[in-house]
């Protein structure tokens, strides 16, 4: 009867084959799991998505901190107003003006940009364009001398080309964001943007037909 | 025959040995990268930043809400102590209502927009930021009094944006389902929304792709106060 070492010698090549196969299998499996983990957590789209969100959140939080500072001042002034008629009048007046601007209850003026678009735009394009302008930071918008306020909406019948869109706000920021290549105007309308030192927008009531 | 088999086996073993050797060598050769340049560490850092900023945002909004309530209370005191200011306080209150700075209650509808559960995810079977923009615009043209989406009030500075796979409203990240609360006295509002001629893109995708779009009427809608910034730095009243 062949002994163990003789058997081993006889089958040694099979043993090598098995060991090599095992090592190979182990390595392939390890690579597979590692690639899967990296691909699952680090999609190129995932990183850029996160980066944009972080930028937006950071910008938004800066805005919120400024708002808190303004509200804290307003609170202080309001507390003084309780006992001081002049402070009361000026604080209330200032707040009323701010909210009249936001609600379109009055004509406004200020720096900004003018956008000219020749071709007809679809309703969905208007909705997207106005949304993008608000995202940049408009304090007032008018299209063909009609004030656009947030709670009135736009219909197809409202506007005919050519369009002149006046936007009051930070002129540099508005111009930079609207005129950049691949931006909303490029995508939707191919409009021309010009910075303006002074624009006058009618009140929402004056603009309505 | 035996010799041929032996040769065959030897060749196989050689190939296997080469492959194993290649892999082992590749593993040994790949040097560990410095932590700052690996994609995984960039991703983790961004993710941490996003989570921290989101927590900070929630905290800042709470502070704004607190200050707004305190200012409102002081306004009520002002009416009592300064009778000459009563008209202005009332005027300001009306403007704040219109702006979205006070809670709004009333009858209306609740609209739910969600990704299809029937069909695999595709551009047509998921709810988009564009759908909500179209819906919000349509609702305003129907004269509704106020709108909120997932507890974010729609105001003058609101934008509804899609950033790759995420929707942001008032710079706040939103996930599905998108629940739109609408206050309106219009008894026919539900009917107008359900009319297929309106919001055609949404209704086509509901029919063809199983997009979820449900409207229910309610007598008790509550729209929260807007807790964000409303900046007026450049515009002035004429």
Q: What is the mean pLDDT of chain A?
A: 84
- The per-residue pLDDT for range B49-108, each reduced to its tens digit, is 999 999 999 999 999 999 998 988 888 888 787 777 788 888 999 999 999 999 999 999
A152 to chain B: nearest residue by CA? B140
Q: How far is B145 from chain A (nearest CA, A)?
A: 8
How far CA B6 is from CA of A14, B14, B95, in Å, comes to 11, 12, 94
Contacts of B42 in chain A (CB under 8 A): 47
Cα within 13 Å of Cα(A201), Cβ side:
37
Say yes or no: B193 contacts chain A, CB-CB below 8 A.
no
- Name the residue with higher pLDDT: A153 or A2: A153
* Optimal mutation site among B134, B202, B231, interface A, most CBs of chain A within 10 A: B231
**Distance between CA atoms of residues A24 and B17, nearest Å:** 9
Q: How far is A12 from chain B (nearest CA, A)?
A: 12
Asked if B101 and A98 count as a contact pair (C-beta separation under 8 A), the reply is: no
Q: How far is B136 from chain A (nearest CA, A)?
A: 8
**What pLDDT is attached to residue B147?**
97
How far CA A16 is from CA of A11, A13, A24, A195, B13, in Å, comes to 9, 5, 12, 78, 8
**What pLDDT is attached to residue A129?**
94
* Optimal mutation site among A54, A66, A174, A204, interface B, most CBs of chain B within 10 A: A54
Dihedral pair phi/psi, residue B214, rounded to 5°: -120, 140
Q: Say which of B168, B231, B237 has its CB closest to residue A56.
A: B168
Edge-to-edge strands, sheet with B160-163: B160-163, B166-169, B172-174
- The per-residue pLDDT for range A69-104, each reduced to its tens digit, is 999 998 988 888 888 888 888 888 889 999 999 999
Whether residue A185 has pLDDT greater than 50: yes
Q: Say which of B39, B43, B234 has its CB closest to residue A139.
A: B234
Say yes or no: B68 contacts chain A, CB-CB below 8 A.
yes
Edge-to-edge strands, sheet with B152-153: B152-153, B146-149, B178-183, B104-114, B212-223
**What pLDDT is attached to residue A209?**
40
Q: Say which of A135, A140, A151 has its CB closest to residue B161.
A: A135
Q: How far is A93 from chain B (nearest CA, A)?
A: 8
Say yes or no: B108 contacts chain A, CB-CB below 8 A.
no
**What pLDDT is attached to residue A204?**
92
ipTM: 0.79
**What pLDDT is attached to residue A7?**
61
**Distance between CA atoms of residues B168 and B83, nearest Å:** 43
Q: Low-confidence residues of chain B, pLDDT below 70?
A: 1, 28-40
Give the pair of three-digit tokens for residue B46. Answer: 């961004």
Asked if A151 and B95 count as a contact pair (C-beta separation under 8 A), the reply is: no
Asked if A191 and A164 count as a contact pair (C-beta separation under 8 A), the reply is: no
B9 to chain A: nearest residue by CA? A13
**What pLDDT is attached to residue B53?**
93
Cα within 13 Å of Cα(B98), Cβ side:
20
Q: How far is A1 from chain B (nearest CA, A)?
A: 22
Asked if B234 and A168 count as a contact pair (C-beta separation under 8 A), the reply is: yes
**Distance between CA atoms of residues A15 and A8, nearest Å:** 9
Predicted TM-score (pTM) of this structure: 0.78
3-class DSSP state of B2: helix
CB–CB of B234 and A169 under 8 A?
Answer: yes
- The per-residue pLDDT for range A126-180, each reduced to its tens digit, is 999 999 999 999 999 999 999 999 999 888 777 889 999 999 999 999 999 999 8
Q: Specify burial of residue B165 (Cβ count, 10 A radius: 0-12, 13-18, 19+).
A: exposed
DSSP conformation letters of B136-189: HHHHHHTT-SEEEETTEE--TT--EEEETTEEEETTEEE-SSEEEEEE---TTH
């Amino acid at each position: 009867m062949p002994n163990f070492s003789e058997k081993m010698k006889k089958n040694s090549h099979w043993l090598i084959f098995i060991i090599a196969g095992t090592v190979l299998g182990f390595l392939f499996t390890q690579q597979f799991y590692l690639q899967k983990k990296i691909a699952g957590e680090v999609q190129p789209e995932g990183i850029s998505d996160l980066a944009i969100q972080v930028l937006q959140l950071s910008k938004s939080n800066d805005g919120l901190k400024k708002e808190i500072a303004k509200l804290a001042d307003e609170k202080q002034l309001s507390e003084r107003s309780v006992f001081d008629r002049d402070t009361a009048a000026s604080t209330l007046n200032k707040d009323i003006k701010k909210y009249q601007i936001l609600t379109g209850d009055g004509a406004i003026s200020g720096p900004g940009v003018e956008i000219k678009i020749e071709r007809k735009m679809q309703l969905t394009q208007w909705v997207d364009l106005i949304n993008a302008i608000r995202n940049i930071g408009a304090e007032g918008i008018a299209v063909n001398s009609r004030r656009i306020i947030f709670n009135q909406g736009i219909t197809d019948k409202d506007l005919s080309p050519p369009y002149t869109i006046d936007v009051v706000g930070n002129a540099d920021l508005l111009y930079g964001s609207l005129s950049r290549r691949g931006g909303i105007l490029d995508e939707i309308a191919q409009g021309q943007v010009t910075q303006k030192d002074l624009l006058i927008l009618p009140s929402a009531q004056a603009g309505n037909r | 025959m035996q010799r041929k088999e032996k040769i065959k086996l030897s060749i196989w073993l050689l190939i296997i040995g080469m492959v194993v050797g290649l892999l082992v060598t590749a593993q040994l050769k790949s040097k560990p990268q410095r932590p700052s340049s690996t994609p995984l560490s960039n991703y983790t850092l961004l993710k941490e930043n996003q989570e921290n900023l989101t927590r900070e945002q929630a905290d800042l909004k709470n502070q704004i809400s607190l200050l707004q309530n305190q200012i409102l209370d002081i306004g009520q005191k002002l009416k009592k102590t300064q009778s000459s200011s009563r008209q202005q306080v009332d005027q300001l209150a009306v403007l704040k209502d219109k702006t979205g700075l006070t809670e709004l209650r009333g009858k209306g509808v609740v609209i739910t927009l969600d990704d299809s559960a029937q069909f695999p995810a595709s551009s047509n079977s998921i709810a988009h930021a564009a759908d909500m923009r179209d819906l919000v615009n349509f609702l305003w043209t129907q004269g509704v009094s106020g709108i909120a989406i997932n507890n974010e009030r729609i105001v003058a500075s609101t934008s509804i944006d899609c950033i790759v796979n995420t929707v942001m409203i008032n710079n706040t990240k939103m996930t599905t389902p998108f629940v739109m609360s609408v206050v309106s006295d219009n008894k026919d509002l539900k009917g107008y929304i359900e009319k297929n001629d309106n919001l055609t893109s949404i209704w086509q995708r509901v029919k063809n792709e199983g997009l979820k779009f449900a409207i229910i009427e309610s007598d008790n809608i509550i729209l929260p106060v807007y807790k964000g910034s409303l900046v007026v730095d450049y515009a002035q009243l004429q």
